Structure 1
Amino acid sequence: MRSSNPVFSRRGFSRDNGQAGFNAAPQAGGPAVGTTQNPYATNPYATNPYAPQTDGQYGGAGPQAPARAGVMTIDDVVTRTASTLGTVVLTAVLAWVLLPVDQNNVGKSYGIAIGAALVALVLALVQSFKRKPVPALILGYAAFEGVFLGVISSAVSTYLSPGVVVQAVMGTMAVFAGVLIAYKMRWIRVTRRFYGFVMAAAMGFVLLMVANLLFSVFGGGDGLGFRSGGLGILFGVIGIILGACFLALDFKQVEDGVTYGAPREESWMAAFGLTMTLVWIYLEMLRLFSILSGND
């Protein structure tokens, strides 16, 4: 089963035996998985595709493989994530200042925001289908996503509630910290069942939001009402919970990458996935607090 996050659905990442980890296929000529001759039979990561064998190829047994340089570390993930999130914040602030959402510039600002969102989507899709991370694509996605978030945040702050943006930022940080603590304490366990539930729920959520958008565009108003009023609050909470679940999946992928020797370049993919998830949570927080402020 492939990773729930498309940026991780590439060589090396999969889910086997009910847990998330790297692809693990038995090596030719080696003991069969699940037999008493194999001391790693119960380890879903016994075969590490990133560990070099004696013949110079990859796919040797993780515990028996020699240590190698250039593997992903937590410091790498933190540094790359700080770079991507810093780019998002910087371009968001610039967009807020340079693209004011007032009566004279509202059309222009919204047009630029929509264009930036589309460019960010294209860059994200291109990177997702590449076998190796391209830092320029990832940072480009972060920059254009920041422009979109800056304009949207400015509009919400101007026309709805000035304090909503701060509340959304604090809420996003709280969710990140809460999920990280819960994951480290093993209150959240990423299993195949957890993965399947999250993916099914996310697919249903996205389909409902698309349907609501289509009804809104062609029927006017707020479509099916999923993004305002009582239903809006309910779906906002569901969206935040889904974002928290995706954070847990992201943390699992990072943990597996560090533990089982993914290449250092994978830290860019980890940063990419975490950034997309945090953007999701922030947007849901922004909508939820806007509704709760009584200005939906």
Structure 2
Amino acid sequence: MNFKDMKTSNPAMSKFESQAMSLGPVDEFIVDDSQRMTVNGTINKTGILLAIVIAVSAFSWNTILTNPSLGYGLAITGVIGALIASLVVSFKPTTAPIGAPIVAGFEGLFVGAISAVFEMRYPGLVVQALGLTVAVMFAMLFCYRTGIIKVTGTFKKIMTFAIMGIGVFYLVSFIASFFGAAPSYFEMGNNSLFNIGLNLVIVGVAALSLVMDFDFIERAAEQNTPKHMEWYGAFGLMVTLVWLYIELLRLLARFQQD
């Protein structure tokens, strides 16, 4: 089996991946079992990446509280850095052992800053968003393991187009923000029905992306792919969880009373 035959959709800020690698048959690159990707190994590495996100987030959070201008600068750096590093890892999975932790660090800069801003306005919101993110993750895992949601070819195509559309929306909005023309979707406190509906759709796509991640990790492990793919699978799952958390944070904020 070739790497190019295993495809998944996973937003990495703009959030979609490509694995068009010309590495040839997988078995040619495996020497012994210690060099094979495993599900447990991927889970462990996901934990490492999330720990990096949390640690850097704590730093960014504190910076926002003590030096807001610097904090916002770190947040923008995090967005740009995570996007660039994610694209590198997405198109060249062999860089994942180094690139994935770098992405986690950049995402931590953004996550900590935006979490602090929401928490200052709506105390307790971050804990709610974190709890809901974990709940959604386990719900999607249950749906995947029980076959309630099946990752078919059609499912992948629909998800790919949905993720690409959201990615373009994010990118255009980010560029427009520098000209003071960002969509109202990103305005804190803008709770129009349209924004709530769009937020729900994006949360739904992010949640279903978790199923894509689970499927990719399981299939890749079954095909005895190289050990570095554990970092690649962990990278995809980590990015999806961060994406889901941010959108849940935004959605929950829409239902708060100022």
2:80 alignment partner, one of 107, 111, 118:
118
Match of 2:26? Answer: 50
How many residue pairs get aligned? The number is 245
Match of 1:187? Answer: 148
Alignment partners' CA distance in 2, 1:11 and 1:241: 30
Per-residue CA distance 1:125-161 (angstroms, 9 max, x = gap): 2222225134222111111211211111111111x20
Q: Does 1:176 align with 2:142?
A: no
Alignment partners' CA distance in 1, 2:18 and 2:175: 30
CA contact (8 A) 1:209 1:226 kept: no
Query: What is the root-mean-square deviation in Å for CA atoms of aligned residues?
Result: 2.7
Match of 2:117? Answer: 155
**How far apart are residue 294 of structure 1 and its match?**
3.4
**How far apart are residue 4 of structure 1 and its match?**
1.9
- In structure 1, the gaps of 5 or more residues are 14-22, 24-48, 59-65
Q: TM-score, normalised by structure 2?
A: 0.84
Q: TM-score, normalised by structure 1?
A: 0.74
Amino acid at match of 1:235: L
2:107 alignment partner, one of 138, 141, 145:
145
Looking at secondary structure, tell me which structure has more helix per residue: 2
Q: Does 1:265 align with 2:206?
A: no
Q: Does 1:3 align with 2:8?
A: yes
1:136 alignment partner, one of 84, 87, 98:
98
Match of 2:247? Answer: 284
Match of 2:212? Answer: 249
Match of 2:44? Answer: 79
Amino acid at match of 1:94: F
Match of 2:159? Answer: 198
CA contact (8 A) 1:202 1:242 kept: yes
